[in-house]
A and B are shown apart, each in its own frame.
Chain A
């Protein structure tokens, strides 16, 4: 038999073994398929930055036609759920005890000043503890106020004199749905977990059970073990990825504006990076326990915080921004958010893909370099 045929035979044997093990071991199927579903459901439904039903206290000290036109504007807005008070004290108490998130206060002189073309003040207090929500609440209140102002002015027969009107156009996500950007980011997170955790734990399992020892004494080469391990888990990971994409498209109605082919290619590339990280972890961790922990600390947390998945990278302090360049998930999140929401924008895709390619080479190269056919 030629050396090539032998090599092929060894590789085939390993791949078959690994595939059989995957099929018979419920835990790897669970990591690849159940975890994505659970995480997607959890994040998709549990995590939303879109404020709705903001509880608002409307304090109207002297109700009349003017105030009711403003309060009805709040009542009609889908963003708010409002309670009406007549004095400020109970409303403030409601704000302190978290019964409401904000107060809109129309004092007793509101209508008088409004009718006298005065600068009628509307007091707005929001609970600023959650700064992000506070800003969003303020934004929505401003929106209601502007719309009402225009309508009121028109009703009074004169055009509203707003010197400069801001006309925002939000591209890619006109409805500003947070699901549309959270779900693609989540796919990156899930693939990081499946790729790195799965491979590192699977290799560690072979060490733990002593089968690695038996493998190493056979004429097999290191790269054959590597390929034999990578290929089945690559397929498994891609399966998990497809499942996540399907859920994103049909359950969460995230648009896919780019091409599916590009998405698949980029995911395949990232899967290789994640598997490479897993292999690298497995060269230092010989027990599943340690491997799982390292995978969690070294891949999951950074992918969560430093990838731009939720938090804007450009707003981080400069040293942290530099660190983010070492996180592969950063590049993949950028690719995913672009392919899903913007389309095949080549400059974004290519630069990020190039970065991923470099990382893949580094991880796989390091893993290859560190793996020896030895126990010590």
Chain B
């Protein structure tokens, strides 16, 4: 059966020019999207997803090529094409100072929806998104997940033929993400909608009917999720060991010759091999004797990483732990007792406590707005606490002396080095800010240039670096003075899977050499890299412990091997039911 195409793109090219720089955002894109399906545009930040979405919506003029929506040329008759599609931009396109109802009314007016049809549609939408109790709340006061659903509702006040969603799930908690997906699936089933959505979460690929993999402005492939992972069959394995720590295990396995990729997944190491061959553990004679190897089914991410690694051949990393200290001693390095943070009448952090031991990788996990960053900033002494106590290496950093601060490294959520200074100038500046003497400074900067492979970019403005290199530079700057404690705020958001792997490898190496690492993330799978973690939601700690402990709590017959995401969702649902019990 041939399904008609709702969207056809042929020979599409787009470059952006800003000053001297030209950026080839999209190169010769050709693709078709079938009606009545969910098509996912998948790729890391900077792959060109948003540009492609905007081109389809008729908001950008291409250099070359053609886009047809339902046979209408988007560039020749933008008004007609816009009348058959709806578009939700990245930040949902909501007016934060209007209420939920007013936002809906506005979009209904703009789309010319009849008064009579309107009421019925509103009821449907409010039911579907569960926003009915909040119609008079200002959109700015909604949580991230609710904003996302309202944004979706606004694009649906009239039934479009093609629905464009630009990163609808970015930074939203897993519960809301699941809800959004079920809404979209229902829409496609019940109303016959065609959906094109973009996402940077690779695991969402599996929920799409059709996947378009975009990388650096090029389509790397299109097909069903299965068509990507199928060729990988027989190349994915789980390896576990009782004697070795999972970080050690991963490090050793990644050195094996047949291994393409090794990451920590839950309590074991996930391995992708170059060919259909069981990894040969005997290569590492001494230590991998007790490791068990099990074949497992390949994922979309396996396929993507394999494709990327094929492209970037020869870029092998050589990260060795500098000194292998006996980590995990018992002295507590970070102690947080009943801290609260209030902004006006709003509590961003409500009474949380935890402690971190020397040499641990400790995670703060939660969705945007859960209070992770606020907690983090209080720990670094950047925000005063409203009440409670906290100690970092025996000091409250807010009042600590310069010498206490010289023991920690800090990497902020967004890239926050000086964008118009070159890589070298940035490193020089931070070296002197941390008070490194001349000889030491030269030596450490040389170290950073070498270890983080920044040599080719020494004189580039750091703002012009590729995203992955920005990340490296930021980390290099935070490590120049060899800190004992490293604070990392959302270090991996938006970077491609390779850069994420590389990043975690470095953190592992640091942890192995005795550095204490405190890290925040909203990627659930990254929690597995932590020794211990707390899960936060709405400013509260939902659970605290090792990843294995957390997952064990949600092991059941239906879910014999729960993932971190399952555990998180379980915790949130548990909290919601207990809250309703209280209110009832």
A/B: CB atoms within 8 Å of each other: yes
Q: Which residues of A contact B (CB under 8 A)?
A: 1, 6, 9-10, 12-14, 16-17, 20-21, 24-25, 209-211, 213-221, 373-376
8 Å CB contact of B87 from A12, A17, A24, A217: A217
Nearest chain B CB to A64 CB, angstrom units: 76
| CB-nearest residue of chain B to A375 | B59
CB-based contact B60/A374 at 8 Å? yes
Tell me the interface secondary structure of chain A in the complex. Answer: helix
Which residues, 93 to 113 on B, are CB-close (under 8 Å) to A? Answer: 93-98, 102, 105-112
Q: Does B58 count as interface, using CB distance less than 8 angstroms? A: yes
A211 in contact with B93 given A217-B58, A373-B78 (CB within 8 Å): yes
Q: B547 contacts the other chain (Cβ, under 8 Å)?
A: no
Q: Which residues of A contact B78 (CB under 8 A)?
A: 373
Q: Are A9 and B89 in contact (CB under 8 A)?
A: no
Distance in angstroms between the alpha carbons of A100 and B86 in the assembled complex: 75
Q: List 22 A-B contacts (CB under 8 A).
A: A6-B112, A13-B110, A16-B102, A16-B109, A21-B95, A21-B97, A24-B97, A24-B98, A209-B96, A210-B92, A211-B93, A211-B95, A213-B54, A213-B89, A214-B88, A214-B93, A215-B110, A217-B59, A217-B85, A219-B110, A373-B78, A374-B59
Chain A residues with CB under 8 A of B102: 16-17, 20
**A12 to B86 alpha-carbon distance, docked (Å):** 21
- Closest A residue to B79 by beta carbon equals A219
A13-B106 contact in complex given A216-B59, A219-B83, C-beta closer than 8 Å: yes
Residues of A within 8 Å of B105, CB to CB, are 13, 16
Contacts of B92 in A (CB 8 A): 210, 214
Q: Number of B residues contacting the other chain (C-beta, 8 Å)?
A: 37
Q: With the chains together, A24 CA to B99 CA distance in Å?
A: 11
CB distance from B26 to the nearest CB of A (A): 13
B460 contacts partner chain A, Cβ-Cβ < 8 Å = no
Counted as pairs of residues, one from A and one from B, with CB atoms less than 8 Å apart, the total is 93
Q: Which residues of B contact A (CB under 8 A)?
A: 16, 54, 57-61, 78-79, 82-83, 85-98, 102, 105-112, 114, 138, 154
- Complex contacts, B138 vs chain A, CB 8 Å: 24
A219–B82 touching, CB < 8 Å: yes
Whether the pair B59, A20 counts as a contact (CB closer than 8 A) is: no
A16 to B92 Cα, complex, angstroms: 20
Query: Which residue of chain B has the shortest Cβ distance to A12 in the bound complex?
Result: B109
A210 adjacent to B91 (CB under 8 Å)? yes
- In the complex, the answer to whether B54 meets A17 with C-beta atoms within 8 Å is no
Q: Are A375 and B95 in contact (CB under 8 A)?
A: no
With contacts A17-B95, A219-B79 known, is A373 near B110, CB below 8 A? no
Complexed CA–CA distance, A211 and B16 (Å): 22
* Neighbour of B57 across the interface among A13, A211, A217, CB < 8 A: A217
Q: How far is the CA of A218 from the CA of B107 in the complex (A)?
A: 8
CB distance from A67 to the nearest CB of B (A): 72
Q: Which of B57, B86, B98 is the one whose CB lies under 8 Å from A17? A: B98
Contact status of A9 and B97, CB under 8 A, knowing A217-B59, A218-B82? no
The answer to whether residues A16 and B93 also contact, given A213-B54, A219-B82, A373-B78 and a CB cut-off of 8 A, is no
- Cα A25 to Cα B90 in complex, Å, equals 23
Chain B residue numbers with a CB within 8 Å of A12 are 109
List chain A residues, Cβ under 8 A from B110.
Answer: 10, 13-14, 215, 218-220
Q: Which residues of chain A have C-beta atoms less than 8 A from B112's C-beta?
A: 1, 6, 9-10, 219
CA distance A375 to B55 in the complex (A): 10
Complex: A21 Cα to B138 Cα, angstroms: 11
For A221, the chain B residues whose CB sits under 8 A away are: 79
Q: When the two chains form their complex, are residues B98 and A375 in contact, meaning their CB atoms are under 8 A apart? A: no
> Could you tell me the distance between the alpha carbons of A6 and B112 in the complex, rounded to whole angstroms?
5
* Residue of A with least CB distance to B93: A214
Residues of chain A contacted by B79 (CB below 8 angstroms): 219, 221
Cβ of A13 and Cβ of B86 under 8 Å apart? no
By a CB distance below 8 angstroms, the chain B residues around A373 are 58-59, 78
B93 contacts A376, CB within 8 Å? Answer: no
A210 partner residues in chain B, CB cutoff 8 A: 89-93
A20 to chain B: which residues have CB within 8 Å?
Answer: 97-98, 102
A214 to B114, CA, bound (A): 20
Q: How far is the CA of A296 from the CA of B539 in the complex (A)?
A: 42
On whether the beta carbons of B109 and A214 are closer than 8 Å, the reply is: no
CB distance from A76 to the nearest CB of B (A): 62
CB distance from B543 to the nearest CB of A (A): 35
The answer on a CB contact under 8 Å between B97 and A375 is: no
Given A1-B114, A20-B98, A21-B95, is A217 in contact with B86 using a C-beta cutoff of 8 Å? yes
Contacts of B61 in A (CB 8 A): 374, 376
A115 to B346, CA, bound (A): 87
* Residue in A6, A17, A217 whose Cβ sees the most chain B Cβ within 10 Å: A217
- The CA of A209 and the CA of B110, in the complex, are separated in Å by 19
What's the minimum C-beta distance from B13 to chain A, rounded to whole angstroms?
Answer: 14
Are A21 and B98 in contact, with the CB atoms below 8 A? yes
CB-defined contacts of A376 to chain B, threshold 8 Å: 16, 60-61
Distance in angstroms between the alpha carbons of A25 and B97 in the assembled complex: 8
Give min CB distance, A21 to chain B, whole Å: 5
Kindly list the 6 A-B residue pairs having the minimum CB-CB distance in the complex, ordered from nearest: A13-B109, A214-B93, A6-B112, A218-B110, A217-B87, A213-B89
B54 near A375 (CB under 8 angstroms)?
A: yes
Cα of A145 to Cα of B90 in the assembled complex, Å: 78
> Bound complex: CA of A221 vs CA of B86, how far in Å?
16
Q: Given contacts A218-B111, A219-B82, A376-B61, are A211 and B54 in contact (CB under 8 A)? A: no
Residues of A within 8 Å of B95, CB to CB, are: 17, 21, 211
| CB-CB under 8 A for A17 and B60, given A1-B114, A217-B82 | no
Residues of B within 8 A of A13 (CB): 105-106, 108-110
Q: Which residues of B contact A214 (CB under 8 A)?
A: 87-89, 92-94, 154
Q: Nearest residue in A to B14 (C-beta to C-beta)?
A: A376
Report how far A25 CA is from B102 CA in the complex, Å.
15
Name the contact of B111 in the complex, choosing from A211, A216, A219 (C-beta under 8 A). Answer: A219
Distance between A289 CB and nearest chain B CB, rounded to angstroms: 16
CA distance A1 to B117 in the complex (A): 12
- The residue on A at minimum CB distance from B166 is A213
Give the residues in chain B near A10, CB-CB below 8 Å. 109-110, 112
**Docked pose: A217 CA to B58 CA in angstroms:** 7
> Which A residues are CB-close (under 8 A) to B87?
213-214, 217
Contacts of A16 in B (CB 8 A): 102, 105-106, 109
- CB neighbours (8 Å) of A1 from chain B are 112, 114
- Which residues of chain A come closer than 8 Å to B97, judged between CB atoms? 20-21, 24-25
Complex Cα gap A120–B91 (Å): 85
Nearest A residue (CB) for B99: A20
CB distance from A322 to the nearest CB of B (A): 34
Besides the known contacts A211-B93, A211-B94, 19 further A-B residue pairs in the complex with CB atoms under 8 A apart: A1-B112, A6-B112, A9-B112, A16-B105, A17-B102, A20-B97, A210-B92, A213-B89, A213-B93, A214-B89, A214-B93, A217-B59, A217-B82, A217-B86, A219-B82, A220-B110, A373-B59, A374-B60, A376-B60
**Could you say which residues of chain B place their CB within 8 Å of the CB of A9?**
109, 112
Chain A residues positioned under 8 Å from B86 (CB to CB): 217
- Shortest Cβ distance from residue A335 to the other chain B in the assembled complex, whole angstroms: 36
Beta-carbon contact of B58 and A14 below 8 Å: no
**Which residue, of A1, A12, A213, A218, has the highest number of chain B Cβ atoms within 10 A?**
A218
- List the A side residues contacting B108 at CB < 8 Å: 13
Distance, CA A373 to CA B61, complexed state (A)? 10
Of B105, B108, B112, chain A has the most CB atoms within 10 Å of the CB of: B112
Q: How far is the CB of A220 from chain B (nearest CB, A)?
A: 6
- Closest A residue to B97 by beta carbon equals A24
Q: Contact partner of A209 among B82, B83, B91, CB < 8 A?
A: B91
Name B96's closest neighbour in chain A (CB-CB): A209
Q: How far is the CA of A111 from the CA of B87 in the complex (A)?
A: 94
Question: How many Å lie between the Cα of A9 and that of B109 in the bound state?
Answer: 5
